[in-house]
Structures are given as structure tokens and as C-alpha cells.
Structure 1
Amino acid sequence: MPDNFNQRQIRNEDAMLRLIADSTPAMLAYFDAATRTCSFANARYAEYFGLTPQTIVGLSAHEVVGEDVWEQIEPYLGPLKAHDPEPVRYTRKLLSSAGKLQFLETVLRPHVEQGLLKGVVALLTDVSPQYQVAQQMRDNEERMRKFSAITTEAIVLHRDGFILDGNDALARLTGYTLDELRGTPILDYVALEFRLRALQHMRSGREGREESMLVHKNGEQVPIEVEAKTMPGINDEYRIVVVRDMTASIQARQHLDFLARHDPLTRLPNRAHLNRQLGEALARCLAQNTRLAVFSLDLDQFQAVNDSLNHRAGDLLLCEMAQRLRNALRPQDFVARIGSDDFVVLLPDDPSPLEIEALAAQLRSAVEAPYQIEGTPLVISLSLGIAAYPQDGDSPEALLSNAEAAMHMAKSRGRGFTQYYIPMLESRSTRMLMQEQLLRQAVERDEFELHYQPQIHMHSGELAGFEALVRWKHPDRGLVPPDEFIGFAENRGLIAAVDRWVLNQACRQAKAWQDAGHPAVPMAINLSAQEFRQRDVVREVAQALEDSGLDAGLLHIELTESTLMLSGGQMSETLQDLKALGVRLAIDDFGTGYSSLAYLRKHPIDLLKIDRSFVSDLTHNPDAQAIVGAIVQMGQSLHLNIVAEGVETQAQQQLLKDMGCAMMQGFLVSAPLPSDQAQHWMSQHCHPL
């Protein structure tokens, strides 16, 4: 009876041991020390080697694992000694039956009784996931090291606020070597007024962008933007911080803000800035019961300078005049350029009638002194109109309008006159009405003329195309350039008829030249924003192409950046329909408007035309060079053709060529020409087909 009880108890204990062994996630086996045969194995261990817990018993370790594995593990069995019961650990790398890399960690634990080595417990654990995570982290760190080596943005790694490492860009940004930076507190390089915020950002683990100020080794402060991420490390997590130098970005924003408030040519305040300044001055006058005066200035016969010399000469004259006005005014006075040769001077701070008269004479003397423009002596006269608060108006609009009315009256008297505003002067609305009537007659009678300015390839000098520029045959003023009436035509709802006339005439002329044997080159025309807002421009373009027989690929339509901002879906659909016709699309005066990459990516643009204001400044203004270079590089990256407008010197041409600009137009090539002269120009510069 006792023997049976003992046998049942042994069987129960064996079953419990088997249950425990089979339940463990590891592979478990026991080998006799003397014979190296297996006397026990759990199901996982036996199945791993293609056996069962019953068939593995009695097999030697060599037989169980096979020849290849035995050669790998036999060296680890030697250290197992009775007097040193420490387990032996090792990890084997192998391919699983599924072909995946696998890591098996093995623990050989000696079984010692009474000083004798009785057997060995073998415990095998699949540690592949841990190895894969560790390898992935090492790979990530290696990728991060490679990325940080090539990026231009500074990268710093820190743990608990102490710098672990950085890239070369960090060394350049701070002025310290990486050896000097490693191990130092990151806050040492943050300006004092930003340290508390930086510390809070670091402790909170936030991952958003923050603006801060870095202290360079030379003591200078550098505006920066930082963006941090918490990264897992092999031993502990760390922070990676991307540091961007915001100096250039801030300067660019300041430059854009300046351009929004100033005339790009003369650097004087523009009309918007003048209106704000005048509004503030009037508010002070009302509060303090004081006076102010407004001068409207216009150069006499300025268009003759452009026609007889070139636009560059006209621009230089305007810049010189702007400088003379600045020098002649008092510190508290304000001068703005609001049009081609239209300037406004504001005299705040309660000027007396004698001061107004004296300053008007001083301005006239300064402006009418002889000029030297690129070696050519010039003498010009000035028409000046004066309006004063409160007697001549109590709003910016009224004062500016009345000063302008006085200026026009001075101009009507001849050259070089000054006129104070009086109520009997012709009102601005009357003058506008007369101007509108003349322009309506011009539309009805086709009193327009196209001039054609050649565009050439920068490197070869070959003809690349023409731009058609409309002129108004004014009954009193002769040929009036588009800058002086297009805006007025848009405001009065007359631009559609002008645009339609230009479209049809340009297409007919291009086809006529082609039929006469001249090269088939593109013809560029300008269409106003109102064409895209109010009319079926696609139908009109298709009709013009059909009527003239001109190939659609030879018609280039130039749009302003503001036109692209019209109601998105409608504008995008219209441009896509024009592209479907085969017409090519260009952005005119690029860089002076919104210049948004989003519009370039959204719309099917083929060509960018760099505004002439940047080209004219190219040889002496680093900002202009940077802007033009950026436009050229951006255009090339977007596979757009680039045309530089207003090229008038070989120095400008060479700089543009060095930058990679493909095409140019301007007085260096040719002024805009009437059709017969343009045809003669082609005969001289192109070989007939």
C-alpha cells in the first residue's frame, strides 16, 4: 500500500513538473553530465529540434542539435565545472525555418550535488524582438548622424539639458567646436531673456516650434527657431533639437514689409503708406487745432526722357529727384512716390503760410537744378499743386485730390508753375469724366496701336519672341503708354474692349509675319484680371486663334500675380482650358506681388518674367541680386522658363547670364517698335525661313 502511494505521488509530481515546464515560454531541457544524454525536455524544446518530449529522451546533445549547431555550442560546455556552479550564457544567431534572422539566448546552468556535477539544465529563449529593437535604434542613430552631417540646419542632441553631440552646422552657428560643446549645458548658449522659456520648453517635453535667441561665441545674438523631439535611446531617451538661423528670414520679412510700404525704385513711401501717415497727421491737427499742407509734384515732359533716352535713364532721374526731395525737406516732413513721376509731400506740425511758400520754392529749386544722367545733362521743370488743411479739405482723399487738381492747373499754365488750390479749379471728377469720354471714343474708333518688343535667348542672342504693348493715340498727348491708361480703363469698365483688340491684332500680326517668311516665334500679350473675372476669355482666345490662323502654341498670355488670386476654382479651370487650347501662360512682373509658390504649383504656368525694378537694381543692389537669383533657381526647379524684363546694360545681361536666366528683353535688345520697324528688326537679326 505505501509503495503504491509513493508511486502515485511520484507520477503526480512528474505530471506537475511536465505541466510547469510546458507552460514556460522558454525552451527547457536537462542533460546528464556523464553521458550528455537528454533525460527531460519540455514540448517547446523538443519541437524546436523536430522531436517530441518522448523521443528526445535518451538522445545525446550532439544527436539532438545536429552537427552544425554542435560545433557552435560545444566550446561553451567546457567551462561547466562542479566547483564553479556559475551558469554559462551565450547567444546564437541563426536563420529560422521561415528564413528570418533569429537570435537564441542560451543559459547552461550546472546541476551540482555534494560537490559533483550531475547534469546541465539548458534554457533557450528567443530574444529576436529585443535584438531587432536595438538594431533599429542603432540604425536610426546612424541615419540621424548621416542626416545631421549633410543638412544645413543645426542639430543638437542633449540629455537632461547637457549636450551629447551636434553637427557641423551647429558649430558654424554657435562659433564653438563640437568638442567645446559636448558635455556643456545647452542653456549656456541661450540669451538670458529666453532661458526661462527654453527651460520650460525642455522640461515639458513639448515638440512644437519655439522662437529664441542664441548667443554666438563672439557675443553676438542670433535669432533662431527651435523644434525639439524626444527620441528613444539604447540606454535612455534623449532630445534632438533642430536649430534654424532666422536672421535671413527676419531680414526677408522686414524687406517684404518695407516693399509693402515703399516704392521699390526710389525707396520712398508709397501711396498706402502716405494715406496712413496723412490720416494720422489729420487726427493730430483735429485734436490740437493745427494746420498741415499737401504738395502734389509732377515732372514736366518726363515721358520725353524715357522716349529720347531709355527707361533706365528715367529711373535714374526719378531716384535722383527722390534724393533731392529728401535732402530739401525738414525732418518732420514726409515725401512719397504715388505714380510714375508723381510725388506727394506732407508738411505736418502747423506750417505757416510763409513756411509753405518757402518750402515750395526750396523744393522747386532742388528739383530743377541740372542733372547728369549717365553722362547726359538734363534740365527738367516741376509742376506743383498745394492744398492745406482745414480750408482745402478735411480728409486724406479730399486733400490729395485737391492738391492734384491744383497741380494739373499749374501744368496747364505751362512748365514750372506752382498753384494753390482754389474752389473754382476743375474738379477731379470732371477731369476723370473727360478722360473716360476720350477713352470710350478710342475704343469705338480703334484708336490704339501695338508696339512690339523683342525677347531673345540670353546665350545665343536668337529671337525668342515678341511682347505686344498697346499704345493709345491720344488726341492731345500723342502715343500714350499703357501704364498711363490701363488702370483707368480697368476702373471704368473699358479694359475688356482694349484687351480684345490687343488679342486679335497681336494674333493677326504674328501670323502675317509668319506668312511673310519670318520665323514663327511666340507673341506675348497681357490680359487684365477683369478678363478672367467677367468674360469668357477661353472662347475669345479660341476665336482669335481661329480667325487669324495662328498656331496656339505661339500665343503667350501674361497674367499678373494678383490675377492668380481670383476665385480659385474658376481661375484654375480657366487656365486649364487655355492650356488645353495649346496656349502658354506666363506671370508678368514676377516678384512684385504675392509670389506664392502655392499658385505656381496650383496653376499650369510655363514662364516667369522678372520685374524690371529688380533688374535695374541688379548691378548695385545685393538684395536685388538675391531676389533675382532666387527667382531663377525656383523657376529652374519648377521647370519654368525665365525672362528678365528691362535689361538695359551689358553688366545686367552678364549677371543674369551667370545666374542661369534663359531669356531677356529691354532696351539693350530693342525698344518697343511699331510693326514695320519690328519687321525690319527681324530682317536684320533673323534669317528668313
Structure 2
Amino acid sequence: MLRLIADATPAMLAYFEAGTLLCRFANARYAEYFGKQPQEILGLSVREIVGERIWEQISTYLQRLEEGVLETIRYTRQAPDHEGRKQHMEAALHPHVIDGTLVGVVALITDVSHHHLLTQQMLANEERMRKFAAITTEAIVLHRDGLILDGNDALVRMTGYSIDELRGSPILDYVAPQFRLKALQYMRSEREDSLQSAFIRKSGELMPVEAEAKTMPGEGDEYRIVLLRDMTANIQARQHIDFLAQHDQLTHLPNRSHLSRLLEKTLTQARSQQTRVAVLSLDLDQFKAVNDSLNHRAGDLLLCELAQRLRNALRPQDQVARIGGDEFVVLLAENPSLLETEALATLLRSVAEQPYQIDGTQLVISLSMGIAMFPKDGNSPEELISNAEAAMHMAKNRGRSFVQFYTPALEGRATRMLMQEQLLRQAVERGEFELHYQPQLHLDSGELAGFEALVRWKHPHRGLVHPDEFIGFAENRGLIAAIDHWALREACRQARAWQDAGYPAVPVAVNLSAQEFRQRDVVQEVSQALTHAGLDARLLHIELTESTLMQSGGQVPDALHALKALGVGLAIDDFGTGYSSLAYLRKHPIDRLKIDRSFICDLPHNPDAAAIVSAIVQMGHSLHLEIVAEGVETLAQRELLQNIGCDMMQGFLVSAPLPCEQAQHWMSQHCHPLQRQ
């Protein structure tokens, strides 16, 4: 029975008589460790069994027993196994005592190599975690049942408290009051997703943070490890992007889209209270002469000074916006009468026409002004702004520095718009459009990344017309779908033709309007265009605006996912000028962001512009999006964009938009034969 029990134990077991240290019993595992059978080592001494090397390690422990230390002696020794690997052996020498006399020793030896390895790994992990916690810029705090246990150096830097001040205090004491209930629920439910909150610094200021917690096993009880990210810079960057999306970058006045929202809100209130609203359209007389005679910088300084004067002259409840070029719109709320409106218009004109000192040169300008009144002259923001502009153009026709109220007699402008619509319809029917192609390059290698196809109108009287002059009009008149349809098919056809001719198989990007997504089966249209041209879907990119992306209540999300399933690339054009939420970029299968040229033009000298572009690049990369910079015109801009990690660029530094034949010649000159192959 003793033999059975001894051989079944996983440890090595042996019994030696006192004095002689001769082996009187050993289990099979003990004997096998020394390469023998149990019966072979019976009668041998410890020294004969273990050999000289091991004897030197253990003899002192056995000697202590011989000297009368009648208690269990434990020790650990290292020894290589038969394959040369280091083993850790843990031994316990139990004295066998009868009537106070040592008669034998029981040796119990266990291989603890595995436990030692686990311990070393745990220590190594703890050391790695300690180093990570020390170098990371994100704060780490550990708490159990809401009481802070520990934190890293970043927590000290971020909050201003020392670890000793934090340790043992409730973590909720440092959460801003308006977030405490949400933080308590987050903690009690042991959620592990991210939580937006705010931390109270030692100085008393609030620091916006994003918290992410994990529940970890610990000695006796679980604890929570919380990662805190300071979101101050992110929030400031987003606020700045939002500001730029709603404001003119030069004057910091509200832009056209922001003005439309302000005016819509004002009109809603005016309808409920049955009050008047005045819209004033202001335009500088002969502003082009300022740019031509001085320079564009002088023109910009003049516009900024004028914007400041208008803002200072208005009442707190009124608004002024710059909607483009040298055109401003003033919104007068709170029931202005005709006399009050005319008086304020006269004041604005007087203030604006005071002399300016621009770069040492004195300038005097004049304003032409048109006024439309709600509800008499229009019922919507678009109608009021349009009628105020019509009145302003009439004022210009009368000469300089005139103020003109809108009258129905100005409907001649509508006649001109009707003629414009007829010409555009004829252009669609007669195919009076052509595509120009602007190259896009990889910033790191300088290789051709693709082309953007840009539509031009071959006007019967004016020649080649830029899309800025007719695309918006075509959208308002319901003609944009036909233009988009033609441009899509033509771009696919040309891309395939270049590919067949041996030129690089690179993507071509086509802009599609929001109406295309709302009113047509855009997926079927794209699929048919690809099939008709025989073009691989991967060589077509669809560019859409942020406003199109925002229309998630309709067919847009389904259409985008269906296009992605086809293999078509999707890009957001003019990113940063709209008013979209960054959450939309996560919801939709977007591949690429194109930073609007208005952000690029001030690089590298404008720190704000550089910070915004860098933030867009980092944010885009965090969402696994490619970033394209539009409007790159200088080597300094290219160098900065390359340094901050922007992927691609397009602009006049590479090439202006080129007609088909010139684009083909450009490829012949710039594309390496290997790339063509």
C-alpha cells in the first residue's frame, strides 16, 4: 500500500536513515530522476545517488539535521534536466524523530519549473505594464468599489494631484457634477465601452475626458482599471472645424449656409409674432479695381476691415454675413420699419465709405445696397436673399453708392434666369459639355494616383464656362441629373480608352450631386456606366459633398453601401466646408476625404490652418481613410502636407484640369514606363 501511494504521488519521495544517510525507501519518480530503478538505489547513500555536483548544493541542509535541527528544512535549487533546460526543484527535508532522537529523513522533492516560469512571466508582464503606464500620455487610474488604488505619472500631470492625494479617495469626487450620475451607472454596470465625461483638476477647471474602463481580477476582489484621454485638443479642433464650416475663413463672418439657417430661424419667429424682417444685400463698387491696382492681399485686408465696421455698426440682435467675394448680407430682426431699415442702411453705407488705410495706401470705397422685406418681398430665405440681390444689382445700374428697395418691377431678373435655363437645357440636349481631368499624385512617391473629372460648359457666346457658374443653377432648375449622368458615362468611357491605349490603370473620380442620390437609382446608373464602358469598378470613385452624406433619412446610406459592394470607391469632396457630424464618417463606407482648398491656401504660414489640416489628417487616418489635399499650389504646401502624413494631393502644383488630349499627353510625359506597364 505504501509503495502504491508513493509511486502515485507526482513528487519525488525518498527516506534516508540518520547518520549513514543510506536510502531505505524511494518511489519510482525519485529513482527515475537519477536514471535508476527503486530497488537499485536502496542501500546507497545520498551522495552516491545524487552525484558530487548536487551533493555540494544540498549537503549543508542535511548537515543541519545531523547537527540537531529537528524541524522541516526547505530549499530550492536549480539544475539542468537531461536536455539541458534549467529546472527549479523545491525540496522539503522532514526529520523522523523517535523519543527525541533523529532516526531518519524524509525527502520530498517537487519540480516547480512551470510555476517559476509563470511567476517570471507575471513579473515581466507587470514590468511591461509599469513601463507602459509610465510613458503613455493617457492617464491610468485603478479603483476598487470606487476608491482609488493607484495611478500613473500621466494622471498626476493631467489632474495636478499627486498619487498620495488621490489614493484612497472616491473617484466620483473628481468627476464634474453634471456627469456623476452617468459615471456611477457606468461603474456599477461594469461597462467597458467609452464614456464622455469631465474631470475636475486640482486648479478647479474642468477637463473634458474620454474614459474607458476594464474590470480586472485581483487578490481578494476585482478592481477597475480606467484609461482617461484628455479631449481638450480634440474638442477645440472640432469646434474650430465647425466654426470654419459655418463662417467665412477670411472675415470670420457667418457664411451663406449659416446665414440661411439664421434667416430661417428668424423668419419662423417673425411668422409666429407677425413681425417684419429686413434683408440687405451689400456689394462693393469696383472692388476688382482694388485687387488689380494693388494686390489680392490688399483686397483681403479691405474686406476684413469692412466686415469689422459693419459688425460694430449693427445692433446686437442683427447679423452680417459674407456670402462670397465682395458681397455681404445684413439681417435685421425684431420688426424693423421701412424708415428704420433705410436709416440703418444709410448708417452702414456711411460707415463703410470712410477712408481706409491699407498697407500705407488710403482707399475710399462705395457700397451698392439692395433691400428686401419680409413678408412683403418673400417668404423664404432663398427668395428674400435673391430679391435683395436683384435690388442691389438695380442699385449698381443706377450708379455708385445707391440703396434700392425691392419692387416687382425687378422681375426682369427672373426673365434673365429663364433665358439662362433655356441655354442650359439646350446644352444638355446638344451635348455642349466636356470633361477636364486633374491629376492626383501620391505624396510619398510622386506617382499618379488618379484623375478627377471636372465638367465644363462650352457656352455658345461665352466660351468655356467653369462649373461654379452653372452647377448651382442646374441643381435649382432640376438639370443636374442629366449632366451627372453624362459625366459619369463619359469618365468611365475615357478611363477605359486610356487603359486600352496602355496608359496607367488609375481611378477616375466623378462628382455626383445630392439630387442624383435622392431622385434616381444611382447604383443602377453607376453599374450600367461601368458595364457599358467595360471598366473595373475599382477604377471609379464617386465624390459627394458632406450635405449629401447628412441626408441619411432617405436612400443615401443604402445607395452608398450598394456602391461599395460594387467595388466603387467613395470620397467626401471639399471636406470641412459643410456641417456634417464626424459620426457620419463612421456610419458610411467612405474611403477618402478631400480637404477643401480653402484650408490649403493658407499653408504653411497660417498656424490655425496647419492645425486644422493636421487634425483632419489624423482623424481621417484613425478612421482608416485616405486623405487628399485639394488646391496645392506651392512646394512649401506639399512639404508640410507630406510631413503631417497626408496621402495624396491635387492642384496647380501638379497640373491644372486638362482636356482629354492634354491629360493624355501629361501621362505620356510624367508616368514612368513601369507604372504604365
TM-score tier, shorter chain, comes to: 0.7 to 0.9
User: Alignment partner for residue 596 of structure 2, among 590, 594, 611?
Assistant: 611
The answer for the alignment partner of 2:387 in structure 1 is 405
How far residue 615 of structure 1 moved from its aligned partner, in angstroms, is: 1.8
2:199 matched to 1:213?
A: yes
* Larger Rg over CA atoms: 1
The one of 288, 310, 316 aligned to 1:331: 316
Task: Please tell me the residue identity of whatever aligns with 1:363.
Answer: L
Separation in structure 2 between the aligned mates of residue 201 and residue 510 of structure 1, nearest angstrom: 56
When structure 1 is superposed on structure 2, of 530-539 and 127-136 the one drifting more is 530-539
Query: How far off is 1:357 after superposition?
Result: 0.8
Task: Identify the match of residue 252 of structure 1 among 226, 234, 237.
Answer: 237
Equivalent position of 1:185 in the other structure? 167
Q: What is the TM-score with the length of structure 1 in the denominator?
A: 0.72
Shift of 1:658: 6.0
Change (3 A) 1:76 1:567: farther
Q: CA deviation at 1:76?
A: 1.8
Partner AA of 2:130 in structure 1: R
Q: Secondary structure at the match of 2:64?
A: coil
1:589 match: 574
Q: 1:79 aligns to what SS in structure 2?
A: helix
Whether the aligned pair in 1 keeps the contact of 2:370 and 2:406 (CA below 8 Å) is yes
Total equivalences in the alignment: 652
Structure 2 length-normalised TM: 0.73
More displaced 10-residue stretch of structure 1: 346-355 or 593-602: 593-602
State whether residues 503 and 544 of structure 1, in contact with CA within 8 Å, keep that contact through their aligned partners in structure 2: no
CA, structure 1 residues 372+588, in 2 after alignment: closer, same or farther (shift >3 Å)?
farther
Separation in structure 2 between the aligned mates of residue 502 and residue 380 of structure 1, nearest angstrom:
43
Q: 1:465 to 1:111 in 2, by over 3 A?
A: closer
Q: Label 1:534 to 1:601 Cα distance change in 2 as closer, same or farther (>3 A).
A: closer
- Counterpart CA distance in 1 for 2:570 and 2:174 is 53
Is 1:387 aligned to residue 372 of structure 2?
A: yes
Kindly provide the CA deviation profile for residues 48-72 of structure 1, in whole angstroms up to 9, marking residues without a partner as x.
6566666654443345445554443
Q: Corresponding residue for 1:3?
A: none
CA distance in 2, matches of 1:460, 1:307: 39
Task: For 1:598 and 1:389, locate their aligned partners in 2 and report how far apart those are by CA, in whole Å.
Answer: 36
Output the CA distance in 1 between the equivalents of 2:585 and 2:113: 51
Q: Deviations over 1:115-146 (max 9, x none)?
A: 32111122234445543443232121011123
Give the conservation status (yes or no) of the 8 Å contact 1:191–1:221. no
Which residue does the alignment assign to 2:277?
A: 292
SS, match of residue 34 in structure 1: coil
Q: Cα–Cα, structure 1 residues 457 and 468, in superposed 2: closer, same or farther, change >3 Å?
A: same
**What is the aligned counterpart of 1:527 among 508, 511, 521?**
511
What do residues 89-135 of structure 1 show as CA deviations (whole Å, max 9, x unaligned)? 01234566798765432211112233321111222344455434432
Equivalent-residue separation in structure 1 for 2:526 and 2:541 (angstroms): 11
Name 1:622's counterpart in structure 2: 607
Could you tell me how far apart the structure 1 residues matched to 2:610 and 2:471 are? 30
Return the letter of the residue paired with 1:615: I
Q: Once the two structures are aligned, what percentage of the paired residues are identical?
A: 58
CA distance in 2 between partners of 1:386 and 1:604 (Å): 43
Q: List per-residue Cα deviations over 1:132-172 (Å, max 9, x = no partner).
A: 443232121011123234433233557895665624x4454
What is the CA distance between 1:614 and its match in structure 2? 0.5
Q: What is the rounded CA distance, in whole Å, between the counterparts of 2:354 and 2:534 in structure 1?
A: 52
Matched residue, 2:405: 420
CA contact (8 A) 1:464 1:521 kept: no
1:225 alignment partner, SS class: strand
Does residue 488 (structure 1) correspond to residue 470 (structure 2)? The answer is no
> Where in structure 2 are the equivalents of 1:570-581 lying within 5 Å?
571=560, 574=563
Contact 2:492 2:508 in 1 (8 A): no
Q: Could you tell me which amino acid in structure 1 is paired with residue 227 of structure 2? A: V
Superposed CA offset, 1:614-634 (max 9, x none): 023435643311122345567
Residue among 153, 157, 166 paired with 2:152: 166
> Pairwise mapping of residues 9-408 of structure 1 onto structure 2 (< 5 A)?
15=1, 26-42=11-27, 45=30, 57-65=42-50, 68-81=53-66, 83-94=68-79, 102-128=87-113, 130-156=115-141, 161=147, 164=150, 166-167=152-153, 169-174=154-159, 181=163, 185=167, 187=169, 194=176, 197=180, 206=190, 208=192, 209-210=194-195, 211-216=197-202, 220-231=205-216, 240-271=225-256, 273-282=258-267, 284-285=269-270, 290-297=275-282, 319-338=304-323, 343-367=328-352, 384-392=369-377, 397=380, 400-408=382-390
The range that moved more, 76-85 or 155-164, is 155-164
Contact (CA 8 Å) 2:277, 2:335: kept in 1 or not?
yes
- What do residues 425-478 of structure 1 show as CA deviations (whole Å, max 9, x unaligned)? 539987765543331022223444667778899999999998665444557877
Alpha-carbon shift at residue 525 of structure 1 (Å): 6.2
Q: Contact 1:189/1:215 (CA < 8 Å) preserved in 2?
A: no
Q: Indicate if the aligned counterparts of 1:312 and 1:616 stay in contact, CA closer than 8 A.
A: no
When residues 482 and 377 of structure 1 are mapped into structure 2, their CA distance, relative to the original with a 3 A threshold, is: farther
Shift of 1:175: 5.2
- Kindly provide the amino acid, as one letter, of the partner of residue 99 in structure 2: Q
- Match of 2:65, SS state, is coil
- For the 8 Å contact 1:156–1:241, the answer to whether it is kept is yes
User: For the residues of structure 2 that align with 1:640 and 1:24, how far apart are their CA atoms?
Assistant: 61
User: Can you list the C-alpha shifts for 1:321-367, whole angstroms capped at 9, x where unaligned?
Assistant: 54343233111112334566664432222323222111222334445
- RMSD, matched Cα: 5.7
Greater displacement, 618-627 / 158-167: 158-167
**Whole-Å separation in 1 of the counterparts to 2:428 and 2:286:** 26
8 A Cα contact 1:371 1:378, kept in partner? yes
Contact 1:164 1:183 in 2 (8 A): no
Local SS of the residue matching 2:411:
coil
In 2, Cα distance between equivalents of 1:151 and 1:421: 64
Counterpart residue number, 2:525: 536
User: SS of 1:440's equivalent?
Assistant: helix
Contact 2:245–2:576 under 8 Å retained in 1: no
**Matched residues in 2 for 1:117 and 1:668: separation?**
96
- Distance, in Å, in 2 between the alignment partners of 1:88 and 1:496 is 92
Q: Distance in 2 between matches of 1:114 and 1:459?
A: 88
Instruction: Give the C-alpha shift of residue 578 in structure 1.
Output: 7.4
Evaluate the alpha carbon distance shift between residue 150 and residue 671 of structure 1 in structure 2; reply closer, same or farther with a 3 A threshold: same
Cα distance in 2 for partners of 1:292, 1:504 equals: 47
Superimposed CA distance per residue, residues 468-519 of structure 1 (whole angstroms, 9 cap, x where no aligned partner) = 65444557877643123213324544334434665788899999999xxxx9
Provide the secondary structure at the position in 2 that maps to 1:78: helix
- AA aligned to 1:536 is E
1:559 aligns with 2:559: no
For residues 418 and 472 of structure 1, the distance between their equivalents in structure 2, rounded to whole angstroms, comes to 35
Distance 1:312 1:510 in 2: 40
Where does residue 7 of structure 1 map in the other structure? Answer: none
Letter in 2 for 1:533: V
Cα distance change of structure 1 residues 188 and 147 upon mapping to structure 2, 3 Å threshold: same
Relative to structure 1, the CA distance from residue 312 to residue 434 in structure 2 (aligned partners, 3 Å threshold; closer, same or farther) is farther
CA 1:335 to 1:201, structure 2 compared with 1: closer, same or farther past 3 Å?
same
Q: CA deviation at 1:552?
A: 12
Amino acid aligned to 1:411: H
Q: What's the offset of the Cα at 1:36?
A: 1.7
SS of equivalent residue, structure 2 residue 240: helix
Is contact 1:306-1:314 (8 Å) kept?
yes
Corresponding letter in the other structure for 2:14? A
